Structure 1
Amino acid sequence: MSVTEYSREVPSGLTVHAAGHRTNYYDNGEGPPLVLLHGSGPGVSAYSNWHSVTPLLASNFRTIAPDIAGYGLTEFRADGHYDIKLWAAHLLAVLDALEVDRAVLVGNSFGGALAIATAVFAPERVAGLVLLGTPAGEFPMTPGLRSGWYYEPSPENMRAILREFPFDPGIVTDEMVAARYALSARPGAQEAFRRLVPEPSGADGGTVRGAGAGFLAKVAAPALIVHGREDRVVPLEAGLFAGRHIPGADMHVFGRCGHWVQLERPEAFARQVALFAGGLG
């Protein structure tokens, strides 16, 4: 099935070549740049994470939402070695290609981990960080994180996974399921995903290890930590850990909210981002 056929459910954006990857991205609005970094999981993409909140942010900012290398409609290279250094290099190459010298990075979950790493590796490129449901410190493996690796593509299985993420499972729509399933069902897609993330088993299978205190202390950029109080995928304690150890961090906790603050509370989330990014000068 071609990208065009998948785009019936997941509209393709623009294309740029970055770090050896043909990269799909979405570019909307004008103003100071916000780079929106999606999370991980089967069928995940910039579109699935950000399309509903982008219009709210694009009224004041230029919003750039790339499919991270190996995810979404961006190329997966069978000979590639995917780790945080490759993903950071790919992100910086996207920014170079789009002539963005400095931006606020807005990262959801895995995207937040990528934002933190980029802020440490290339601090001159990062004006600020907004971190949503981002792993930090150590916490027990959760069913939501575990389920992605063992997922077998079907609409029913995709719906079951997605319902783990929000506080109210009712926000998981047929459209959301169809878009994520369409990408996850491409030939070889789940096998590729399993090469992007470690299997949650073995001696360390019970623990998730996010950025540690020493690494977080290296973040020089101002940061806004955003977390859902009822996040069952990455617990609130991870957000509190990041807030304690990033020197320039503030924090906002959303009640009755799970792992997808930007989807569950889009208007309130957009206001928080606008206040934070607009105040950076």
Structure 2
Amino acid sequence: MNTQATTDPEIGKSVQAAGLATNYLEQGSGDPVILIHGSGPGVTGYANWRLTLPVLAEHFWAIAPDAAGFGYTERKPDQEFSLDFWVRHILEFMDGIGVEKAHFIGNSFGGALTIALATRHPDRVDRIVLMGAAGLEFDLTEGLDAVWGHEPSIENARYMMENYFAFDKSLIGDDLVKSRYEASVRPGFHESFSAMFPAPRQRHIKALSTPEDHISQLENRALIVHGRDDKVVPLETSLRYNQLLRNSDLHVFGNCGHWTQIEKKDQFNVMVRDFLLS
């Protein structure tokens, strides 16, 4: 494990997992909470969780890795990505940083990975927070098709964020558009991203899914959070999770899209903190 000398807030420490030098951020101390980001273009643990990490760090050891194929985690030529590989990568990441069991917060793609991990390795997962989570089968939305098929440009970045990520378009300023565009065209980022979810894309939703009968066996306490106006992962997915997960509560934010942790950051952070502490 080593710390990279950098002033870039997206680059933290590095540990080997599944043969990849894995970038992660950490703050605080105490019981570990692992936060897994979504699958948007140019995404990193920092981009997804920068507003949540400091709040959780007041009570927990908050850890946000860049999943395999994303962010500043090492990329290798011809790497094949699958749910099996992503689960293996997170398990070995936990081993590498010395975490036997953790709470998990999973956003979108990260929710699918969290559920897969919980059903396959229940001894490694404590409480679960799912936020706009994939991991169940649903009809491909226009928003998800656009996100996974994103071709980098300033115009496309603005259109994607204004029309699919945020309910409140006033959140989408020029600086944010520029930063997300620049993130998506860093060396190697778009190449690995575009190879992950090629069209036709309905098959990738299925590939990220865990059988419902496996999910219904979980006894973990779970908090499910969704934006009512989400155009990427439909609200019905979280309603179904709430039916399947016997020890779950569901909160739906009105006037909120796929960016719950940003659009409703204060309420989201308090709700998640209190759930993990209760």
Give the alignment's TM-score, normalised by structure 1. Answer: 0.89
| Structure 2 unaligned residues grouped into runs of 5+ | none
SS of alignment partner, residue 250 of structure 1: strand
TM superposition score normalised by structure 2: 0.90
The aligned residue for residue 63 of structure 2 is 64
| 2:200 matched residue in structure 1 | 200
Displacement of 1:199 in angstroms is 2.0
Counterpart position of 1:219: 218
Residue 139 of structure 1: SS of its match in structure 2? coil
Aligned in 2, Cα 1:169/1:211: closer, same or farther, shift over 3 Å? farther
Cα separation, partners in 2 of 1:15 and 1:100, compared to 1, 3 Å: same
Structure 1 residue 136 displacement after superposition: 4.8
2:239 aligned partner: 240
Question: Offset at 1:214?
Answer: 1.7
Report the counterpart of residue 24 of structure 2 in structure 1: 25
Using the alignment, how far apart are the partners of 2:200 and 2:144 within structure 1? 8
SS at match of 1:275: helix
Structure 1 position 20, deviation (Å) = 0.5
Identity %: 42
Q: How far off its partner does 1:215 sit?
A: 3.0
Residues 1:173 and 1:125: Cα distance change in structure 2 (over 3 Å): farther
Kept in 2, the 8 Å contact 1:35–1:106? The answer is: yes
SS at match of 1:23: strand
Decide which moves more: 209-218 or 121-130.
Answer: 209-218
1:178 matched residue in structure 2? 178
Unaligned runs of 5+ in 1: none
Instruction: Name the counterpart of 1:161.
Output: 160
Once the two structures are superposed, what CA deviation does each residue of 1:166-207 show, in whole Å capped at 9, x if it has no partner? 211222244433332223113443231122224235xx57x9
Query: Cα RMSD between the aligned structures?
Result: 2.1
Measured against aligned partners, the alpha-carbon deviations of 1:78-106 in whole angstroms (never above 9, x if no partner) come to 23221111111111111111111111100
- Range with greater deviation from structure 2 (65-74 or 244-253): 244-253
8 Å CA contact retained: 1:228, 1:253: yes
Distance 1:254 1:149, change over 3 A: closer
SS in 2 for 1:34: strand
| Structure 1 pair 173–91 and aligned structure 2 pair: CA distance change class (3 A) | farther
Matched residue of 2:24: which SS?
strand
Amino acid at match of 2:261: Q
1:261 is matched with 260
User: Offset of 1:8 from its aligned partner?
Assistant: 7.5
Query: Structure 1 residues 173, 198: CA separation in 2 closer, same or farther (over 3 Å shift)?
Result: same
Q: Which amino acid aligns with 1:249?
A: S
In 1: Cα distance, 2:219 partner to 2:177 partner? 38
Matches of 2:23 and 2:88, distance apart in 1: 16
Note closer, same or farther for the CA distance 1:78–1:218 as it changes in structure 2 (3 Å cut). farther
- CA 1:250–1:42 in structure 2 vs 1: closer, same or farther (change >3 Å)? same
Amino acid in the other structure paired with 1:192: S
